[in-house]
Structure 1
Amino acid sequence: MALLAIGIGVVYYLAAGSLPEYDATVEVDGLNGPVEIVRDLHAVPHIFGETDEDVFFGLGYAHAQDRLWQMTMLRRTAQGRLSELFGEATVEIDHLLRALDIYGVAQAMVPNQSPETQSAMRAYAAGVNARLREVQAEALGRGAPEFFLFGAEIAPWTPADSIAVNRIMALQLTDHASRETLRAELSLLLSPERLDDIQPLPPLPPDLERPDFSSLFPEVMPTRDAQPPVAPLFAALNPVHEVGSAGASNAWAAAPSRSASGATVMASDPHLGLSAPSIWMLARLEFPGSGGVIGGTIPGLPGILIGRNADFGWGLTTSYMDDQDVYIERIDPNDPTQYITPTGSQKFRSRDILINVKGAPARQVTLRWTRHGPVIPGDHYRAADITPPGHVAALAWTALDPNDRSMDTLMGLMRARSIAEGRLALRPLISPPQNVIMADREDVALQVMGKMPHRRDTHVGQGRIPVPGWVEENDWLGYLPFDDNPRVLSPDSGMVINTNNRTTDAPFPRHMSFSWGDSQRIGRAQRLLGQREFHTPESFIDAQTDIVSPTARTLLPLIGRDLWWQDGTGPEDRLTPLRKTALERLAEWNGEMSEHRPEPLVYAMWVRALQIRLMRDELGPVADRLDRVEALFIERAFLDIDGAAAWCDVVTSRAVETCQDMAALALDDALDTLSAQYGNRVESWRWGEAHRAFHEHQVLGGIPVLSFFANIVQPTSGGDNTLMRGRTRGEDPDPFTNVHGSALRVIYDFGDPEGSRYIISTGQSGHMLSRHYDDLATLWRRGDYIPMSLDPERARADAIGVTRLVPR
């Protein structure tokens, strides 16, 4: 016992050594003058310096104080060097990132940023490196506890590292390549009409035909699902998401004509995968010449991504612009080092690399690029399942363009003083495409940023399926002009609202996307925000934290209409009491996905079981790729739109089953599962027990004992389609775990500059022993916020410490 106590004490002592000291004076190299980092009550850094470069230096230092491990993991991911720490489990991730050459693209982008932006990035990197030198000189616990387990070698930070982090974010915010391969795989199993049930399309021009993958590649046969290429232990490190798991978000703004105070009000809450710590960190930067900027930062990036200054505020939602195409390239049968193009054979650009693997021999791989982009290795994006023999799949993606100037856009937004200046700042950005909701003191607007690929009218895949790479009609013609991007300026309604919903009715190829991130939340948002003539921050908070599911309100009357009116004279079985109680409660339920109620759990399990029954006999294991409820699919089936009720008939049985038959069977499936898990009293079931927000530490989250300290788990309200979104995992054994939501929420009121409100999903610190590791998590769960002020004196008034950086 004594030895155990001593061991625990030594571990704690070593780990605690990396806890940052917020109240200190530190001599550093690279400053023009002194910098103050004032930590408020919640450890939010307010950074003051004599020059803009010194302020960026301070931000780099503060990020490295609190999130050094997180920053280095983002960099290692971009570099494809995870396996040096984690062994064989992450080799496939490294292989993909090396194939995409994310880090090489980032290095090429640095000189394309403006001189002012390059100066800011260098100053930020110098701040990070000042903290690294301090950790080394003072033996500060290697900078973070994780480095005791996975190596302490940390290379100096560079401007390319910041751009690489930005590229990783772009990778996490798109899923169009995965959507293309999924549609291709589904088309091998379904008729065009039934495929449209699963992936409904907006009305198409009469001359636009639906692309048919099987006619393009008749040699491809349906295959069984491949196993995930990444070991579950470190799956959280994979930045490539399955369909439906890319970024989402809400944002809205009210002009002075729709505000109770006569000043603009704005709200933004971007949705990303939940993690511990959160990807977001709050900060305030006080620039000597232009004043303060407050909002959400991402450690590794030198600036405020979502925030406001005294005159201008902006928020982001994922635009779902179709920025990726998968090309099937035909290998020259006479020379495997070449592939076929419209003008003949062309040599692959290739190089051999070594992926160093901890505890195993280095892996030698050959990376290849085509004129469209990198060859996709392994079964990433599930491309291997739909690639014919003698062919390879390549990825065209706007984020791989080294001419991108997204860091210039970041700097421009922070310095903008009006919507006009904000829109001007968006022009040089190519990727990631986002909807930017903007507000100044006079008006509100929405502008889509990012460059749209210019596809020909004759593009055979229309960005919806993989296409032959040797057909010239499928090549991009560069990008469409920025002025073709959707925008809403000075709306007559006085409001802009976006929930990843469709933003344009332009026909292909200026359509922007055939796949949008939301068709459900937008109706709820428009109703809540439209029914009030004047808005306040409180009304925006009510909408941001709304937990009523429009999907539940739509689907329950369809799937339960006959069951509610049954007379109950049929034979009784063990589920009869549960069935009666569940249906009675659902009949009176308003669709509120409250963590404290049983109805959301019954509804969620019912529609999940129903979708499994409808899809499984037609799709087999491919149905596992559609593991979250597709609301429009169920609605189409039960309304028999274009014959969609055919899904309800079990193709392997003689009887002709109806949709109501399926609904009854699925309800019994759900009740049987729930009673086995939670007991036989419906009244005691709770949605929050199943819908737990799982803020997973990307590395320690799956390691026994350590996961107890590293992960942050709590019951939550909301669901897949509520405005306070808590997207579920979808996979057994815990399909309703909340893994994707609004990790940052902000409210700006230009009538009360000191009344801005913010919250992130965990805490400011990435250190498990810090009280600021999870101190904001409970507030986030309850829908509460913390204030952030542009007044320097208010920041100092409740400061828990001031770090003073002085030139050495």
Structure 2
Amino acid sequence: MKWVRRGAVALACLLLLLAGLVGGGFWWLRTGVPAESGTIALDGLSAPVRVYRDAHGIPTIFAQTDGDAYFALGYLHAQDRLWQMELQRRIGAGRLSEVVGPATLKLDRLMRTLGLYRLAEADVASLSPETQAAFGRYAAGVNAWIDGHDGALPPQFYLLRTRPAPWRPADTLVWSKLMALQLSGNYVDEIQRTRMIERLGPERTATLFPDLGALTPTTLAALDQAVPMLAGLAAALPPPLGPRTASNEWVVGPGRTGTGAPILANDPHLGLSAPILWYLARIETPTLSVAGATVAGVPLTILGQNRHIAWGFTTTGADVQDLFLETVDPKDPARYLTPNGSAAFDIRTETIAVSGGDPVTMTIRSTRHGPVLSDLDPDMDKLAGSGKVAALAFTALAPGDTSAQALYGLNRAGNWQDFLATMRFWRAPIQNVVYADDGGNIGFLTPGAIPVRRSGKGELPGDGASGAQDWTGTIPFEDLPQALNPPAGFVANANNTVVGPDYPHYIGSGYDEPYRARRIVEMLGADGPVTVDRSRAMQADTLTLEAQDLLPLMTGIEPVNGRMAAALARLRGWDMHMDRSKPEPLLYMEWLRRFAHAVFDLPLGPLAQDYFGLHPTVLKTILTRDPSWCGDAAASPPPADCQALLQRTLGEALDALTKRHGADIAAWRWGDEHVAPLADQVLSRVPVVGGLISLATPTDGGPYTLNRGATTIDDPVTPYAHTHGAGYRAVYDLADRARSRFMIATGQSGNPLSPHWGDLVADWRDGRSLTLSGNEADLAAAGESLTTLQPPP
């Protein structure tokens, strides 16, 4: 007993010691959460800057000069989102493996091969002096926080044993290149199409890519030898940075709003994480007044309103990437063939530092078209028996990108002429921009560098030696899709096609399915004026229009038992709203997912994983016109019977859902599985810590609703996790900027110890919003905290 008592005392002492260490560590990490009031002396300011923060930590910056405002924004971004900024620039520079280890080598190899950061460094000189000055002042503000902060860094820095280097303007510019890469994936589509044609033939492949167009046997014959190399390239590529499409926007003219001024709504859809990409901020100076969504690492307002205009973005789906199969000169492997003879590869060498491993040195070759992607795998040349390499042409890799200058001017534009003048500088990513101004005008523009091809549409890899599919330039700015005050009185886009068949240039075929666009037009066409509240309700809408096409085709089957009959009756009576409190969305999605697997997996074989998705337009075609895809894998030969396949997959869906949620269908809930994880890319992977900081929440919506709830549909474990959607929502009232509404998905802070880590999650989930308005007296009277940044005495 004596030793038991002594052991108990020792254990108690040890627990107290550990508690002290944990408590001390927690206290230390808390010093990384900024105070939201007080006075801070900072070198680099020309005059005091007053920063008011509301109850959610959203700042309004009052400065006497634009430069001081950008300095202050850089300081605030560093306070709240420094790790997010660090992660973005490391991804763009191909330097993740320095802190993560070999797991990120594929991504680093791709970034070094593309040379995004090298381009960003060179592009700084292409910007106007005013834009360069803004970037320099912003970087100075970021570095003022890094150098002057004597508390803890965000905890991710300690976990990965690194410290932030000084911020540079190139660190800002590389973000737009990452976005251009994320929102363009045409070369991956080309690889996928080529491999599918080799497996299925052109006619059957065209069913899977409805916009593919005619594929001539001559073209395919030229690609046959390259298929093994393209398969190897597909394996060497890292996972995509994120989904490419999905955003909503509409702008309504004064004749349909009832206020005498336009209303503009926008909710861009990107990957959902914690913190979210967007950071709300408002800036007020004598020459600049702007409010909306900024991005940590960037001084400019990406989406928002200024004193006179408002704007919104959606992704176009333009084809701005082409793979070219270059022929290595058989007489000299250091050269490749062109229409004008042999040319030397441009060659450079880069070394990637790897945490916990040896450095990796890679030789990067480029041709007249762009970097050689098939060098991503050192053994790729063994697969290229035909003496070919694959080079990437990509508009975002052209030197002299001035897109940041366009955004600088957009923040200050006062009318349509200013808007057009500044958007001439936009290069990438290609976006659909809606516009409104306080003069009552509305408009639309698709700016950027969209290639013009000598022949073809770039749907398959081209022959680099012949030059037949070379780019001859880009679509002239005057010919880009644009409209001012269209007769309909509104403009809407949800990643659907932006031009009709008579448009003289090819933009691309990467459009999203038209269901969200149809729903926007349908709701805008309802009786009564379009208001801010009505637009907010549209952004929260959960009606899934693709179910109107698919469910009548799916539920027409004969049930094989009572349980199936009850499920079919429930689906036939469903209002097709993807609400988290309902069982029908879960039943519908589980059935549709299993049916899609049954349709695609057998014919596509090893290619099914890359193609897999719900593809409602393709499934509708199969169910109505091409039942040959509905073969039963268990039969020999497989009969083409979609009804039998629907019966089988509905039974499997009911079995699976019963196992997960019990036998009572009425008790199932879409929100039980449609959960937005809102995970931190580092901390959420740490045992225990991930659970403590979790912001996961059940959500409404689905892949094709305006309230976008896109999921990891190809994940066998969590197929309905809500990982992609509207991280930012805004509705701009051009009659009164103070009535404009804003929301982001998580909170302003990227530090889990901050009260603003996730304090907006419930508001975002439930469709609420807030304003960014008020003068200094208003904000002080509302009790907002005040921090004064000022030059040292």
Measured in 2, the distance between the counterparts of 1:263 and 1:51 equals: 30
1:153 aligns to what SS in structure 2?
A: coil
Partner amino acid, structure 2, of 1:146:
Q
Task: Specify the alignment match of 1:588 in structure 2.
Answer: 573
**Matches for 1:780-799 after TM superposition, within 5 Å:** 780-789=764-773, 791-799=775-783
* Pairing 1:483–2:478 present: yes
Change in Cα spacing, 1:388 to 1:674, as seen in structure 2 (3 Å) is: farther
1:763 aligns to what? 747
Displacement, 1:655?
Answer: 5.3
* Residue matched to 2:3: none
Whether contact under 8 Å (1:250, 1:498) holds in the other structure is yes
2:641 is matched by which residue type in structure 1? T
Q: Is the 8 A contact 2:452 2:506 kept in 1?
A: no
Match of 2:586 in 1: 601
Q: How far has the Cα of 1:11 moved from its partner?
A: 2.1
Instruction: Name the aligned partner's letter for residue 17 of structure 2.
Output: L
Q: Does 1:727 align with 2:710?
A: yes
Secondary structure at 2:472's aligned position in 1? coil
Give me the identity figure in percent: 37
Q: Deviations over 1:85-132 (max 9, x none)?
A: 111111111111111110110011101111111111111111111111
- Of the structure 1 ranges 506-515 and 527-536, higher mean CA displacement relative to structure 2 is found in 506-515
Q: Which moved more, 1:45-54 or 1:651-660?
A: 651-660
User: 1:199 is matched with which residue: 199, 205, 209?
Assistant: 209
Residues 74 and 166 (structure 1), Cα distance of their counterparts in 2 relative to 1, 3 Å cut? same
1:645 to 606, 618, 627: 627
Name the residue aligned to 2:599.
Answer: 614
2:583, 2:666 within 8 Å by CA — same for their partners in 1? yes
Give CA-to-partner distance per residue, 1:587-629, whole Å, 9 cap, x none: 1001100111110011111111111111122111211112320
The answer as to 2:408 corresponding to 1:424 is no
Deviation at 1:409, TM superposition (A): 0.8
Structure 2 CA distance for aligned equivalents of residues 148 and 796 of structure 1: 37
Structure-2 residue corresponding to 1:22: 36
The 1:447–1:673 alpha-carbon spacing in structure 2 relative to 1, beyond 3 Å, is: same
What does 1:169-208 correspond to in 2, within 5 Å?
A: 169-201=179-211
Matched, 1:214 2:220: yes
Task: Tell me if structure 1 keeps the 8 A contact 2:541–2:707.
Answer: yes
Structure 2 residue 282 is matched with structure 1 residue 284 = yes
**Mapped contact 1:40–1:796 kept (Cα < 8 A):** no
Deviations along 1:36-93, one digit per CA (max 9) or x if unpaired, are: 1211121111111111111111111111110011001111111111111111111111
Shift of 1:31: 1.3
Counterpart residue identity of residue 772, structure 1: H
TM superposition score normalised by structure 2:
0.94
For 1:786, what is the secondary structure of its paired residue? coil
Letter of the 1:494 counterpart: G
Q: 2:529 aligns with which of 521, 524, 534?
A: 534
Q: Is the 8 A contact 1:171 1:239 kept in 2?
A: no
Q: Deviations over 1:280-305 (max 9, x none)?
A: 00000112224x21000011111110
Question: Are 2:109 and 1:108 equivalent residues in the alignment?
Answer: no
Q: Which runs of 5+ in 2 are unaligned?
A: 1-14
1:374 is matched by which residue type in structure 2? Answer: P
Distance 2:414 2:383 in 1: 49
Provide the residue aligned with 2:86 in structure 1.
72
Determine which of 732, 735, 738 is the counterpart of 1:754: 738
Partner of 1:324: 321
> Paired residue for 1:412, among 409, 413, 420?
409
Letter in 1 for 2:396: A
For residue 3 of structure 1, report the CA deviation from its aligned partner: 2.5
Q: After TM superposition, list the pairs within 5 Å mapping 1:281-680 onto structure 2.
A: 281-290=279-288, 292-376=289-373, 389-441=386-438, 442-456=440-454, 458-459=455-456, 462-506=457-501, 510-563=505-558, 576-640=561-625, 644-650=626-632, 653-654=636-637, 656-680=639-663
Extract unaligned runs of 5+ from structure 1. Answer: 571-575
Which 10-residue stretch deviates more, 623-632 or 795-804?
Answer: 795-804
Aligned pair count? 774
Shift of 1:681: 1.5
| Partner Cα separation in structure 2 for residue 547 and residue 636 of structure 1 | 24
Deviates more, 1:58-67 or 1:711-720: 711-720
Q: 1:21 to 1:230 in 2, by over 3 A?
A: farther
Candidates 151, 156, 162, aligned match of 1:140 = 151
Flag as ranges the 4+ runs of structure 1 deviating above 6 A: 222-231, 383-387
After superposition, give the CA deviation of every residue in 1:757-792 in whole Å (9 maximum; x if it has no partner): 110010001110011000001111111111211544
SS of the counterpart of 1:471? coil
Describe the SS at the equivalent of 1:477.
strand
Aligned to 2:112: 98
Residues 744 and 655 (structure 1), Cα distance of their counterparts in 2 relative to 1, 3 Å cut:
closer
Tell me which moved more, 370-379 or 720-729. Answer: 370-379
The offset of 1:390, in angstroms, is 2.7
Contact 1:48 1:286 in 2 (8 A): yes
Contact 1:46 1:795 in 2 (8 A): no
- 2:779 corresponds to 1:779: no
Give the structure 2 partner of residue 573 of structure 1. none
Give the deviation of 1:151 after TM superposition. 2.6
- 1:796–1:349 Cα change, 3 Å: farther
- Cα shift at 1:407: 1.1
| RMSD across aligned positions (CA) | 2.3
Per-residue deviation at 1:636? 0.2
| Deviation by residue 1:516-548 (Cα, 9 ceiling, x = unmatched) | 123221111111111234210111111111001
Cα distance between partner residues in 2 of 1:351 and 1:463: 28
TM-aligned CA deviation for residue 555 of structure 1:
0.3
- Corresponding letter in the other structure for 2:254: P
1:419-442 residue CA offsets vs partner (Å, 9 max, x unmatched): 232122111111111011111121
Q: Deviations over 1:170-198 (max 9, x none)?
A: 22222212212111121112232321221
1:32 is matched with which residue: 41, 46, 49?
A: 46
Rounded Cα–Cα distance in structure 1 between residues aligned with 2:358 and 2:18? 36
